[in-house]
């Protein structure tokens, strides 16, 4: 009978040790889940922020482009007016030419203005850069979503493995946890482009 009790005590100790290690494993998964959730939240916020910024830049771009177009139409009209009226006085011609020169100078500043970084050329570059940043964040987000789901499933299966003592459930949890960790890592690095995600 003493041998049976010793055997049961050894089995109980082994089970407790196994459960402790599974608990540590679940703790590690929970930390990975927190990192994954943070990465997903940041990617989602970044995508929204960059989309808003890009929209603002493109709105500013369109307003400046419209203004430039109006100036060009005005220049064309002034040039045609000067050609159609050869009888203008020299002062009138000089005033028209001065106005044309002024409009052309404004047109050039609207087209490119490195000093303010708000010319159409600069705004176009900024808009495209913001769109690229938004697109990266949008590509990252689904990996974090899948990573979160896989890590949550792994945690649940780890808990079930403690209760049931099932090694197969624990192995399934480990596979899910590894996949969740890989998805999380890929969310940060975009090392792999998995076609069906995103």
Q: Please state, in angstroms and rounded to a whole number, the distance separating the CA atoms of residues 111 and 119.
A: 5
Query: For the residues 4-26, what does the mean pLDDT come to?
Result: 76
User: Quick check: 159 pLDDT over 60?
Assistant: yes
- The contacts found for 31-37 with CB under 8 angstroms, 24 or more apart, are 32/151, 32/177, 32/180, 32/181, 32/184, 33/148, 33/151, 33/152, 33/155, 33/180, 35/184, 36/144, 36/147, 36/148, 36/151, 36/180, 36/183, 36/184, 36/187, 37/144, 37/148
User: Quick check: 27 pLDDT over 60?
Assistant: yes
Per-residue pLDDT, 5: 59
The pTM (predicted TM-score) of the whole model is 0.78
Residues 85/77, Cβ–Cβ less than 8 Å: no
Per-residue pLDDT, 19: 84
> pLDDT band at residue 9, thresholds of 50, 70 and 90?
low
User: Tokens 């590509």 correspond to what residue?
Assistant: 139
């Amino acid at each position: 009978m003493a041998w049976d009790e010793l055997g049961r005590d050894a089995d109980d100790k082994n089970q407790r040790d196994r459960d402790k290690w599974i608990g540590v494993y679940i703790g590690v998964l929970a930390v990975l889940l927190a990192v994954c959730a943070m990465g997903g939240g940041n990617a989602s916020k970044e995508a929204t922020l960059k989309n808003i910024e890009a929209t603002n830049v493109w709105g500013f771009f369109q307003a400046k482009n419209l203004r430039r177009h109006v100036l060009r139409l005005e220049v064309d009209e002034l040039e045609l007016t000067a050609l159609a009226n050869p009888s203008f006085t020299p002062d009138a011609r000089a005033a028209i030419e001065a106005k044309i020169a002024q409009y052309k100078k404004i047109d050039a500043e609207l087209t490119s203005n490195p000093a303010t970084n708000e010319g159409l050329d600069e705004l176009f570059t900024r808009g495209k850069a913001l769109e690229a940043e938004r697109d990266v964040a949008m590509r990252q987000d689904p990996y974090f979503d899948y990573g979160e789901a896989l890590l949550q499933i792994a945690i649940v299966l780890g808990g079930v493995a403690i209760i049931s003592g099932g090694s197969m459930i624990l192995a399934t949890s480990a596979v899910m946890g590894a996949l969740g960790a890989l998805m999380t890592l890929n969310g940060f690095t975009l090392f792999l482009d998995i076609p069906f995600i995103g």
